[in-house]
Structure 1
Amino acid sequence: MHNDLSLLHPIARQQSDTMVLDALTRYVAQPGTRVGEKLPPESILAEGLAVSRNTVREALKFR
Protein backbone atom coordinates (compact mmCIF):
# COMPACT_ATOMS: atom_id res chain seq x y z
CA MET A 1 0.00 0.00 0.00
CA HIS A 2 1.25 3.43 -0.90
CA ASN A 3 1.19 5.88 2.03
CA ASP A 4 2.60 8.99 0.39
CA LEU A 5 -0.05 11.55 1.32
CA SER A 6 1.75 14.25 -0.65
CA LEU A 7 -0.02 12.81 -3.69
CA LEU A 8 -3.36 13.87 -2.26
CA HIS A 9 -4.55 17.38 -2.93
CA PRO A 10 -7.42 19.06 -1.10
CA ILE A 11 -10.64 19.21 -3.04
CA ALA A 12 -11.93 22.74 -3.25
CA ARG A 13 -15.28 22.66 -1.48
CA GLN A 14 -16.04 26.14 -2.71
CA GLN A 15 -15.77 24.83 -6.24
CA SER A 16 -18.62 22.36 -5.71
CA ASP A 17 -20.69 25.07 -4.00
CA THR A 18 -20.14 27.33 -7.00
CA MET A 19 -21.06 24.56 -9.43
CA VAL A 20 -24.29 23.85 -7.53
CA LEU A 21 -25.10 27.57 -7.42
CA ASP A 22 -24.55 27.80 -11.18
CA ALA A 23 -26.83 24.80 -11.76
CA LEU A 24 -29.55 26.29 -9.54
CA THR A 25 -29.24 29.64 -11.32
CA ARG A 26 -29.79 27.89 -14.66
CA TYR A 27 -32.72 25.98 -13.12
CA VAL A 28 -34.57 29.11 -12.00
CA ALA A 29 -33.77 30.93 -15.26
CA GLN A 30 -35.72 28.36 -17.29
CA PRO A 31 -38.68 29.71 -19.24
CA GLY A 32 -41.87 29.23 -17.28
CA THR A 33 -40.32 29.66 -13.85
CA ARG A 34 -42.33 32.23 -11.92
CA VAL A 35 -40.98 34.81 -9.48
CA GLY A 36 -41.49 33.55 -5.93
CA GLU A 37 -41.86 29.93 -6.99
CA LYS A 38 -40.37 27.56 -4.41
CA LEU A 39 -37.38 25.38 -5.18
CA PRO A 40 -37.74 21.61 -4.79
CA PRO A 41 -36.70 20.22 -1.38
CA GLU A 42 -32.97 20.00 -0.60
CA SER A 43 -33.06 16.21 -0.81
CA ILE A 44 -34.46 16.31 -4.36
CA LEU A 45 -31.94 18.96 -5.46
CA ALA A 46 -29.08 17.01 -3.89
CA GLU A 47 -30.14 13.79 -5.59
CA GLY A 48 -30.56 15.50 -8.96
CA LEU A 49 -27.16 17.18 -8.72
CA ALA A 50 -25.43 14.12 -7.19
CA VAL A 51 -24.15 16.10 -4.20
CA SER A 52 -24.88 16.08 -0.49
CA ARG A 53 -27.69 18.09 1.05
CA ASN A 54 -25.05 20.06 2.92
CA THR A 55 -23.45 21.11 -0.39
CA VAL A 56 -26.84 22.35 -1.59
CA ARG A 57 -27.29 24.29 1.67
CA GLU A 58 -23.83 25.83 1.37
CA ALA A 59 -24.50 26.83 -2.24
CA LEU A 60 -27.72 28.56 -1.24
CA LYS A 61 -25.87 30.45 1.52
CA PHE A 62 -22.96 31.18 -0.80
CA ARG A 63 -24.40 34.40 -2.23
Structure 2
Amino acid sequence: MTIKTLSVKCPTCKKEVLMTPAFPERPFCSRRCKLIDLGEWASEGHRIPGETVSEEDLEQIGRHRD
Protein backbone atom coordinates (compact mmCIF):
# COMPACT_ATOMS: atom_id res chain seq x y z
CA MET A 1 0.00 0.00 0.00
CA THR A 2 1.42 3.36 -1.04
CA ILE A 3 0.60 6.44 1.00
CA LYS A 4 0.83 9.73 -0.88
CA THR A 5 1.77 12.97 0.83
CA LEU A 6 -0.38 15.95 -0.03
CA SER A 7 1.51 18.90 -1.46
CA VAL A 8 0.29 22.42 -2.13
CA LYS A 9 1.83 25.59 -3.51
CA CYS A 10 2.82 28.28 -0.99
CA PRO A 11 0.20 31.06 -1.31
CA THR A 12 2.96 33.69 -1.32
CA CYS A 13 5.84 32.39 -3.44
CA LYS A 14 4.24 29.32 -5.11
CA LYS A 15 7.01 26.94 -3.92
CA GLU A 16 5.84 23.35 -3.36
CA VAL A 17 5.02 22.61 0.29
CA LEU A 18 4.50 19.10 1.64
CA MET A 19 1.79 18.83 4.26
CA THR A 20 4.13 17.19 6.75
CA PRO A 21 5.85 18.24 10.00
CA ALA A 22 8.89 19.15 7.86
CA PHE A 23 6.96 22.32 6.93
CA PRO A 24 5.68 23.68 10.28
CA GLU A 25 4.40 26.90 8.67
CA ARG A 26 2.26 25.00 6.14
CA PRO A 27 0.56 25.86 3.85
CA PHE A 28 3.37 28.43 3.66
CA CYS A 29 6.92 27.34 2.86
CA SER A 30 8.46 29.57 5.55
CA ARG A 31 7.75 32.00 8.36
CA ARG A 32 8.75 34.82 5.99
CA CYS A 33 6.02 33.91 3.48
CA LYS A 34 3.51 33.51 6.31
CA LEU A 35 4.29 37.03 7.61
CA ILE A 36 4.12 38.53 4.11
CA ASP A 37 0.61 37.07 3.74
CA LEU A 38 -0.43 38.33 7.19
CA GLY A 39 0.78 41.82 6.24
CA GLU A 40 -1.32 41.73 3.08
CA TRP A 41 -4.44 40.94 5.12
CA ALA A 42 -3.59 43.62 7.72
CA SER A 43 -3.14 46.30 5.04
CA GLU A 44 -6.30 45.14 3.26
CA GLY A 45 -4.32 43.98 0.24
CA HIS A 46 -6.31 40.74 0.52
CA ARG A 47 -10.04 41.04 1.08
CA ILE A 48 -13.06 38.80 1.03
CA PRO A 49 -15.80 40.42 -1.10
CA GLY A 50 -18.98 41.35 0.68
CA GLU A 51 -21.64 43.98 0.92
CA THR A 52 -20.79 47.43 2.25
CA VAL A 53 -22.22 48.15 5.70
CA SER A 54 -24.02 51.49 5.99
CA GLU A 55 -23.57 53.92 8.90
CA GLU A 56 -27.19 53.20 9.88
CA ASP A 57 -26.50 49.46 10.07
CA LEU A 58 -23.42 50.12 12.23
CA GLU A 59 -25.47 52.25 14.58
CA GLN A 60 -28.10 49.50 14.92
CA ILE A 61 -25.40 46.94 15.66
CA GLY A 62 -24.01 49.27 18.33
CA ARG A 63 -27.46 49.64 19.93
CA HIS A 64 -27.94 45.87 20.12
CA ARG A 65 -24.64 45.43 21.98
CA ASP A 66 -25.63 47.75 24.84
> What TM bracket, shorter-length normalisation?
under 0.3
- More helix as a share of residues: 1
TM-score of the superposed pair, with normalisation by structure 1 = 0.23
Work out which structure has the larger RCO, using CA pairs closer than 8 Å and 6 or more positions apart in sequence. Answer: 1
